[in-house]
A = this chain, B = another copy of it.
């Protein structure tokens, strides 16, 4: 079973977004070996500049990545895929590789160059900027949708 991890930084503060995330995580575990990791916010975050914070957060992400992981960074400037293209992409990885798929959603200020370079794919959800907390739920729904597409289930068609 494909192992999929989602790495996030900081808790989701809005209850409605947390409920949304939980809904799709609950569904995803039927399709893959799925785990969601909420890394801790940087302590005394307000005492750092944006750049310092970005570096510290990125380092936290890098510490959680194994050498053999396939890393996908959710990134506004990345590739745009339709839901069907994304589903096919996941399906191909599932067929030809046993690497763990690690998706990363950065903090409010994004991630640093080192993490950009470690990522094997940069994926954009939209040309629009979504709140980084809302992106979590939107992405989880896309991931769930992708698995239902690949299984030929009706979710995508209603």
Contact = CB atoms under 8 A, between A and B. Distances in A.
Interface of A: 14-17, 19-20, 23, 80-83, 86, 108, 125-131, 134, 137-138, 141-142, 145, 156, 158
26 contacts: A15-B16, A16-B17, A16-B19, A16-B20, A16-B23, A17-B20, A20-B20, A81-B128, A82-B127, A82-B128, A83-B128, A86-B128, A125-B126, A126-B126, A126-B127, A126-B128, A128-B142, A129-B145, A129-B156, A130-B138, A130-B142, A131-B141, A134-B137, A134-B138, A134-B141, A138-B138
Nearest to A82: B127
Nearest to A22: B16
